[in-house]
Amino acid sequence: MDLRELYQDIILDHGQHPRNFHKLDHATHFANGHNPLCGDRVTVYVELDGDKIRDVSFEGRGCAISQASASLMTEILKGKTPAEADALFKSFHAKVTGRDDASVPPALQDDAERLEPLTGVKTYPARVKCATLAWHAFEAALKSGATGATVKTE
């Protein structure tokens, strides 16, 4: 099995069996995301405990890429600080847009590598929005708090 096949298997697994797919009852922050171009919708729930992300989950529907990205994101962000989450998103966003100019601190390198299966979307610009939708919703959730927010990727 080559690397591309392995990456496809990871995306399909997370897309068909997303992790942390539920409403978080004790969420301190949340936001809705919508990609009107392909119909992806996601709600990201975050529970902060001081300066740590205690829990993060999502609900929604969409293509395998958007679901896999949200699933991987929720696994990776638990236990991180918002600053660490921001560093991971900046690195991920740079890679999926073909820039690859953002690095992450060594302590976050393993987490950044777990997102590699999604970086193939850089050759399909319309799919970048699918891969980043949950991340944009996560960012909006942190900014809006318990009042919630809605973001659109267009």
Tell me the one-letter amino acid at 78. K
Region at 131 (left for phi over 0; alpha for psi -120 to 50; beta for the rest) = alpha
Q: What is the DSSP letter of 104?
A: -
- Calculate the average pLDDT of the chain: 92
Q: How far apart are CA 119 and CA 136, in angstroms?
A: 16
Q: pLDDT of 53-65, one tens digit each?
A: 999 999 999 999 9
Confidence band (pLDDT; 50, 70, 90) for 16? very high
Question: What was the pLDDT predicted at 100?
Answer: 67
Global pTM reads 0.93
Model pLDDT for residues 112-134, shown as the tens digit of each residue: 999 999 998 998 888 999 999 99
Average pLDDT over residues 85-105: 89
Query: What does the alpha-carbon distance between residue 135 and residue 143 come to, in Å, rounded to a whole number?
Result: 13
Q: Residue 148 — pLDDT band, cuts 50, 70, 90?
A: confident
Alpha carbons 74 and 19: distance in angstroms, whole number: 7
pLDDT digits (tens, 9 = 90+) for 24-81: 999 999 999 999 988 999 999 999 999 999 999 999 999 999 999 999 999 999 999 9
Q: Which domains does the chain have, with CATH numbers?
A: 3-152 (3.90.1010.10)
